[in-house]
Amino acid sequence: MATISSSNGLFLRVAFLFALAYFCFIDVSKILESSYFLFFTHAMNLPGLLLSKTSAQVGIFGLLFLLLALHDLVPLVENNKAYFNSVVPIRLMVFFVLTAMSYLWESNLYVHNNVVFTYSFVEVWINFVVLGALREEKNNDMARFHPIEAEEELEDTDPILTDTNEIEQLLEVTSAEESQ
């Protein structure tokens, strides 16, 4: 069974943030007027946000996305799993709360709009995938580095397997019961 590794999920997030930064610097309307984006906006019944191509806020958001991508790229290249094990659950919780707020808080149009909801939703999905992969890799590492301790515990706690004569007697009794 092929699953997404945490590194691949994190590279997906970095590529997503670089793409957002690129479109913020080039033309943000390519994202905002995309048919998928508009379909998702109408399906969730969210108000649309319109930004001009020359808006200063778009440039600031482009820099923000660029810095967020670099902030994850450096520990990812260094294979710093401890960093991601600590930051991904917090990031997931924050974006989950932001996604819920952006959908439910209808009186505040700064938060309740299609851009905030869609970005937060994608972040929740990516971070959920990364968190699952990190936990699976952590469990596999624990099983790989500590198999001997688990086998020793089984041998010490199982009194039936200590004497071969007892095993033979047990097999004879069970085979006699099955034949009756």
Per-residue pLDDT tens for 32-58?
A: 888 888 888 878 777 777 777 777 788
What does DSSP assign to residue 23?
H
Q: What is the mean pLDDT of residues 130-152?
A: 76
Q: Is residue 88 part of a domain?
A: yes
Which pLDDT score, from 0 to 100, does residue 1 have? 41
Which pLDDT score, from 0 to 100, does residue 54 have? 72
Q: How many domains does the chain have?
A: 1
Res 21 pLDDT > 50: yes
Q: Is residue 1 part of a domain?
A: no
Res 89 pLDDT > 90: yes
Q: What is the mean pLDDT of residues 145-158?
A: 58
Q: Is residue 168 part of a domain?
A: no
Q: Is residue 175 part of a domain?
A: no
Tokens of 161: 């397997």
Residue 58: give the domain boundaries: 6-156
Category of 45 on φ-ψ map: left (φ > 0), alpha (ψ -120 to 50) or beta: left
Q: Is residue 137 part of a domain?
A: yes
Q: What is the mean pLDDT of residues 109-137?
A: 87
Cα–Cα distance measured from residue 172 to residue 148, given in angstroms and rounded to the nearest whole number: 32
For residues 32 and 168, the model is more confident at: 32
Res 104 pLDDT > 80: yes
State if pTM tops 0.85.
Answer: no
